[in-house]
Amino acid sequence: MAPLKKFIAASSVCALAALTLAGCGSGGHQVIASNEACSNCHSSEKPQFDVARPTAGEIVECAPGTQVNVATGGNTAVLCSVIFTSEDGGSFVPVMASNLGSADTSFMAQEGVWAVVADEGDASHGVVLVVNPGTAADGAEVNIQL
């Protein structure tokens, strides 16, 4: 394969990898308010899926009641519920549930699928937090760095 074709192929693979956490666009989708819907920004309603085992980016699993420690790195951390916009759970829209602030913090995990993200205004990055009763021992700690 010619060097230019190899470069284009490699660039395409890198671009796809960069979209792993994306809800829309080239980075993670911006955090939206709980009273917003995809139709506020998109001309037609985006599809939404219920996903039990997401594939988006970094995934952390724990049991309800687990202490989750968040190292913000100076970013504004936000705990979000998620709207999955792909059937395999590879892309989602983070919906603000709680602003965790910009200082290192912790919270107790509640059952469900969440995202702990650094809110960057028009984008976000972070991890998906899957909280299941059958996962890990209660009282354990989970550390997340943003």
**Count of beta carbons in the 10 Å neighbourhood of residue 35:** 8
pLDDT in tens, 125-137: 999 999 988 886 6
Q: What is the 3-class SS of 76-133, one letter each residue?
A: CEEEEEEEECCCCCCCEEEEEEEEEECCCEEEECCCEEEEEEEECCCCEEEEEEEECC
Quote the tokens at residue 7.
Answer: 């470069």
pLDDT in tens, 69-112: 999 999 999 999 998 888 888 888 899 999 999 999 999 999 99
CATH number at residue 65: 2.60.40
Highest mean pLDDT among 49-58, 94-103, 117-126: 94-103
Number of domains making up the chain = 1
66 within some domain: yes
**What is the torsional sign of CA 35, 57, 63, 77?**
negative
The total number of residues written for the chain in this structure: 146
Q: What average pLDDT does the segment 5-32 reach? A: 45
38 within some domain: no
Q: What average pLDDT does the segment 39-60 reach? A: 75
* Global pTM value: 0.73
What residues make up the domain containing 85? 53-145
137 within some domain: yes
12 within some domain: no
37 within some domain: no
> With pLDDT > 70 as the criterion, what percentage of the chain qualifies?
71
**What is the torsional sign of CA 95, 101, 103, 106?**
negative
